[in-house]
Structure 1
Amino acid sequence: MVIARGLGVDATLALAERAWDAGVALVEVPIQTAADVAALTALAERAAERGLAVGAGTVVEADQVALARDAGATFTVSPGCDDDVVTASLDAGLPTLPGVATATDVHRARRHGLRWLKAFPASVLGPEWPRALHGPFPDARFVATGGITAENALAFLEGGARAVAVGSGLAGERALGALAALGGAEVR
């Protein structure tokens, strides 16, 4: 997944088009400002033309869920596992990817019926963290997020993450292609 943080409408659309053309299907737009919501709205319209999903990220308050839904988001992403945000997302019919960093966080997310979880901040947790949490939670599916780059993404996939999400690590023209190439790898 590609994270388009604070880029504005035009740069968000350009990054998403490059990601989609490279084979990366999911794009997240963190919604921290009105400009971010405008970028999400424009991206959701473009994604709908391709039949693709777009997420609203950095959803930290339950009232942001309606904003995300109204902007066209088809899922939400949060840095933590806030019960109110999770409930609001599910009540709005939006799948949600809450951030987890501890076994307690994973357990809380599972009580909501969630299995896909954002391992955050992945660079601090380390590449082996997902595999360690698979012991007590074998059905958890982790998306490593935070500090992921083209250089370390494979280590996280080999360490048990099912996917990676990359934002600032996309600097450089070859980074997106290198990450997209990992999408074809069957790493467990």
Structure 2
Amino acid sequence: MVKYRRNFIPGGTYFFTVTLADRRSNLLVDHIDALRNAFNATRSERPFAVDAVVVLPDHLHAILTLPPNDSDFAGRWRRIKGHFSSHLLAASIDLKRRPNGDLALWQRRFWEHTIRDESDFAQHVDYIHFNPVKHALVQRVCDWPHSSFHRYVSEGVLPVDWAGGVGGGEGGVFGERPE
């Protein structure tokens, strides 16, 4: 088996996909405030910038930038997942456990990609913002509430009608490689 190697760059910017173990679950959006609190608690313990994020029912995508001289993104995800899981347990949400007793809420691993340049960054931001349309959760990007898209609009970076209606309207690829 090939040993997967992560790219640890102090102060790096990374794209992540983090997924629940149960892909049919809605826990992330049903408990969005707990997830937001988990991010905030982790940021107060171990600072990082959230450049872009979208939360879907069973997974999330995010671009995070770490402080200079710090490359421990895995520790941050461990804390975010832990804070969120602890909140659900405290709220008496019934969570499955693995045979060894560990919670089976999250997939054990996550996908990470080191952002290489401004073009790579922009492509991944587009992918993040378009993702709810891709998953047929909404017809327009602006209709999904759990996205940094709204911050980008309020800051004047993107127009509210960015990507148009169903299928992207503007004919964009939005972060995925063309087939």
Larger radius of gyration: 2
TM-score by length of 1: 0.27
Report which structure shows greater RCO (CA 8 Å, sep ≥6): 2
TM-score by length of 2: 0.28
